[in-house]
Amino acid sequence: MSFDKTDRTQLLKEKLDELCLNYDVSHIGSDPIQFPHRYRNPSDIEAAAFIASSLAYGNVASIRRNLERVFSFLGTHPHETLLSINPGELTSALSGFKHRFTTVKHLSLLLLITRVALIEHGSLKNLFLEGHVSDRPSIKESLIYFVDHLLGQDVRPVYRSVQEAHEDGALFLLPSPRNGAACKRLNLFLRWMVRTGDAIDFGLWPEVSRSQLVIPLDTHAARLSRYLGLTKRKTSDWKTAEEITDALRKLDPTDPLKYDFSLTRLGILGDCDSKEGQSRCDECVLAELCSREILVS
């Protein structure tokens, strides 16, 4: 079915708004955001969200299983645990941990960096706001500053230097838009911290505008965005993430990422599979706007 540009944009907004109602907060059990939702203290939520989002790659079952171990270690007050732990004991305390290609040393570095940032800045929000540029269309420059300063901290005793950590693959957990990376997990963390209004995200950083957020570009978001014509790019990099976000801003200029959680549920819950014959297209509210059959044929 063909539409003129204005009609299609309006219909897409209506259908995506409907999708948001279908995949609401009751579905957070399929998402790593379930872990920071266990806490009530904002400091604990922020710390838990940063750790959980950093490990949010791979299949749902492995993410949940490995985060359970991490949060068993972090306990009822992750913020307090991070401040009180002896950095030299991190690797031994988490011995045997492995999440896909994230090793116990990689995780220990992440916890150490988070700990130092909390000690030196009081919160991750304070560090982010130090470099936040509020008059830019996206948070790219702010995120570059944030990552640069996290990696500018003393990484001992886990690694002798940031270069050694890089050579060991540990910096996979802390990519930067500076290098063109999509930064899916960092953008996910920012969505959790900034957005509010639907009980899914936390809205703990009201100083940052929701309009500046960039979509956390995972395989589901990228594939579904291509089906819906939000991008034609095949590379899942920062440029593609911004292009998709720009398309979503046309639907909601103040809150483009309101659609992220519901869109990714389609893929994560198996309601829209990338394999031919594995999707439930007849039941999907987006069916008349979707070019899935063309793109997978």
pLDDT band at 278 (very low <50, low <70, confident <90, very high): low
277 confidence band (pLDDT: 50, 70, 90): low
The answer to whether residue 221 scores a pLDDT higher than 90 is yes
Q: Is the CB of residue 227 less than 8 Å from the CB of residue 284?
A: no
pLDDT tops 70 at residue 293: no
Question: How far is Cα 217 from Cα 248, in angstroms, rounded to an integer?
Answer: 13
Task: Say what the pLDDT of residue 48 is.
Answer: 98
CA distance 182 to 241: 6
Q: In the numeric block, which tokens belong to residue 100? A: 């896909």
Residues 6+ apart with CB under 8 A from 176: 143, 144, 147, 148, 183
Cβ contact 155:161 at 8 Å:
yes
Q: How confident is the model at residue 215 (pLDDT cuts 50, 70, 90)?
A: very high
Task: Please state the separation of Cα 65 from the chain's center in Å.
Answer: 18
What ranges do the domains of the chain cover? 1-23+215-297, 28-211
Predicted local distance difference test score (pLDDT) of residue 297: 44
Examine the pLDDT at 274 and tell me if it is beyond 70: no
Q: What is the pLDDT of residues 11-41, one digit of tens each?
A: 999 999 999 999 999 999 999 999 999 999 9
Place of tokens 């505008």: 209
User: What's the pLDDT score for residue 283?
Assistant: 84
Which run of H or E residues covers position 98?
Answer: strand 98-99
**Token duo for residue 257:** 């990422």
Q: Which tens digit of pLDDT belongs to each residue from 176-214? A: 999 999 999 999 999 999 999 899 999 999 999 999 999
As a residue count, the chain comes to 297
- For residues 191 and 201, is the Cβ–Cβ distance under 8 A? yes
In angstroms, the CA 100 to CA 11 distance is 40
- Check residue 282 and give its pLDDT: 82
User: Confidence band (pLDDT; 50, 70, 90) for 291?
Assistant: confident
| Interval 280-295 mean pLDDT | 81
pTM: 0.95
- Residue 18: predicted pLDDT: 96
pLDDT tens-digit map of 110-128: 999 999 999 999 999 999 9
Please tell me the predicted confidence (pLDDT) of residue 276: 58
Burial of residue 183 (CB within 10 Å: 0-12, 13-18, 19+) is buried
**Structurally, what CATH architecture does the domain formed by 1-23+215-297 represent?**
Orthogonal Bundle (1.10)
